[in-house]
Amino acid sequence: MIDILNLNTNDLDVTQRLDDPSLIQSFTVDATNELIYYIDSNNRVLKQLDIKTKKIHTLTNIGTGNDLVLDWHLNLLGWIDVESFELVSFNISSGHLSTVIQVFSLKNRLQLTQTQGHFFGFLEHHHL
């Protein structure tokens, strides 16, 4: 079980409980709008948890994903599909899902930061 807490209050009330912690593959937080986005690895979907209403919405079907990031300026989410090695972008406003780039060889996980629609990360190059 996972407890989601609001650390900005003195009483630290549990705002939400998720029964199965293994379902969260990766997550990111939109603190301004009090939303948590996460990749549900059991159901292979991207979900949004509204902390205020305690409602969970499925946003889109995905494969598998790691390193979920949020660009709150442009309302975009990004992650790496670990099966296809694709960098994927999802527009929260329109629901549009697109592949940004395919990375053919990942020795280590790619870490992402997204700001104003640009992805940045580290990729290890392999030399023979």
66-92 pLDDT per residue, tens:
888 888 888 999 888 888 878 889 999
- Band of the pLDDT at 45, cuts 50, 70, 90? very high
Q: What total number of domains does the chain contain?
A: 1
pLDDT value of residue 94: 96
Could you list the beta-strand ranges (E) of the chain: 2-5, 14-18, 24-30, 35-40, 45-50, 55-61, 66-71, 76-81, 86-91, 97-102, 112-115, 118-121
Q: Are 98 and 114 in contact (CB under 8 A)?
A: no
Residue 15 lies in a domain: yes
Return the ∠ at Cα 59 (arms to 104 and 123), rounded to 5°: 20
CA atoms of 27 and 59, how far apart (whole Å): 14
Q: Are 77 and 89 in contact (CB under 8 A)?
A: yes
User: What domain range is 17 assigned to?
Assistant: 2-121
87-116 pLDDT per residue, tens:
889 999 999 998 887 765 555 555 555 666
User: Between these two residues, 121 and 42, which has the higher pLDDT value?
Assistant: 42
Residue 126 lies in a domain: no
Residue 128 lies in a domain: no
Residue 127 lies in a domain: no
Residue 77 lies in a domain: yes
CATH number at residue 6: 2.120.10.30
Q: Are 74 and 117 in contact (CB under 8 A)?
A: yes
Q: What is the DSSP letter of 12?
A: -
Whole-structure pTM value: 0.75
Residue 107 lies in a domain: yes
CA atoms of 76 and 114, how far apart (whole Å): 9
